Structure 1
């Protein structure tokens, strides 16, 4: 079962990457059975906390989103996460030959590498149930660092390249990930100006 990889990536990542490489999982099935499920954690938890629990920064009053606004923002977040994983997987495949990846590993394993490397960020979504900005920032920062570490360790195993090449490959992918993040922020600003911004209510 694909979801079993989530546990393995935290307990024995190197062995898990070897297993993932051998699977050559179909990208569509990987998306449906893994990414679509785990990527839903953060939006669902964010909806619950913003619409029902409310957020308080310091000693300020409790702030909540309206039901409609919370649903809209959660759905937009979900779509952005799915697009981000796909874009990262595409970038891995696109740059594979440049860094000496074995061609037979590229089509399926590039997407798999992106999806499984994002596992810590997916699971960090549970932290949103505790509506504290500093706590959430620390959790997601730690998840991002561990996700980057997973990708760095998985590149030579999954894509079949030398570790020296994997270092350059990893730096390039980190740049792509940052571009995706900035694009997401810019897209959010545009959507907010189009009327999809948050609508607040006092708790």
Structure 2
């Protein structure tokens, strides 16, 4: 799995071609990919928000979460990351016929998982929460993920570039819907008892 993570960041076209040639059994093993990688940002943010903390504006007071609160939020964060990848992967598979591509659910989840690699890695900034730096790196990671999606869809789905562009654009639209859904669920989770609790 590590070879695909390094490959997708250093030589994405080659990595996508190798992924396109995988058997269905090998793709099934890659279903563990988001489950493993999503644990890194969840742990990083748990540590950063409970041990390091952050400041707001020009105020020098360090804000930290209690460990009990951070455990719940980190678990929900982990579940949201894995759930989002699986949901986007499902819709990649579901839309494949529309764009003349042959797909399986495993292939769709694999594409979504590999595309999310920069976002998983960016989550490691949670070890030291600095708002402006986290936002900047988040935008860079998101841009790289979008690039990987537009590059990878035509290669893995074996469709022409023009159709691949439309397919990837539709996946971006689905990803935005998933993001909004996660935001709504986050607000509801706060009402149901998963609101952050801060240390004194």
Q: Is the 8 A contact 1:106 1:159 kept in 2?
A: no
2:58 alignment counterpart: 59
2:163 maps to 1:165: yes
2:177 alignment counterpart: 179
Instruction: Name the SS for the 1:80 alignment partner.
Output: helix
Matches within 5 A, 1:100-139: 100-101=100-101, 103=102, 105-139=103-137
2:94 maps to 1:94: yes
1:151 alignment counterpart: 149
Tell me which of 191, 194, 197 is aligned to 2:192: 194
Structure 1: where are the runs of 5+ without partners?
none
Structure 2: where are the runs of 5+ without partners?
none
The alpha-carbon deviation at position 106 of structure 1 amounts to 3.4
TM (norm. structure 2) is 0.95
2:4 alignment counterpart: 5
The alpha-carbon deviation at position 10 of structure 1 amounts to 1.2
Instruction: Name the SS for the 1:78 alignment partner.
Output: helix
Q: Is the 8 A contact 1:6 1:119 kept in 2?
A: yes
* Cα gap change, 1:115 to 1:25, in 2 (>3 Å): farther
Instruction: Name the SS for the 2:199 alignment partner.
Output: strand
The alpha-carbon deviation at position 194 of structure 1 amounts to 1.0
2:17 alignment counterpart: 18
Instruction: Name the SS for the 1:23 alignment partner.
Output: coil
Task: Supply the distance in 1 between the matched residues of 2:162 and 2:23 (Cα, whole angstroms).
Answer: 24
Q: Deviations over 1:75-101 (max 9, x none)?
A: 000000010000010000000010011
Backbone CA RMSD of aligned residues: 1.2
TM (norm. structure 1) is 0.94
Task: Supply the distance in 2 between the matched residues of 1:24 and 1:193 (Cα, whole angstroms).
Answer: 44
* Cα gap change, 1:159 to 1:186, in 2 (>3 Å): same
Q: Is the 8 A contact 1:57 1:132 kept in 2?
A: no
2:73 alignment counterpart: 73
The alpha-carbon deviation at position 71 of structure 1 amounts to 0.5
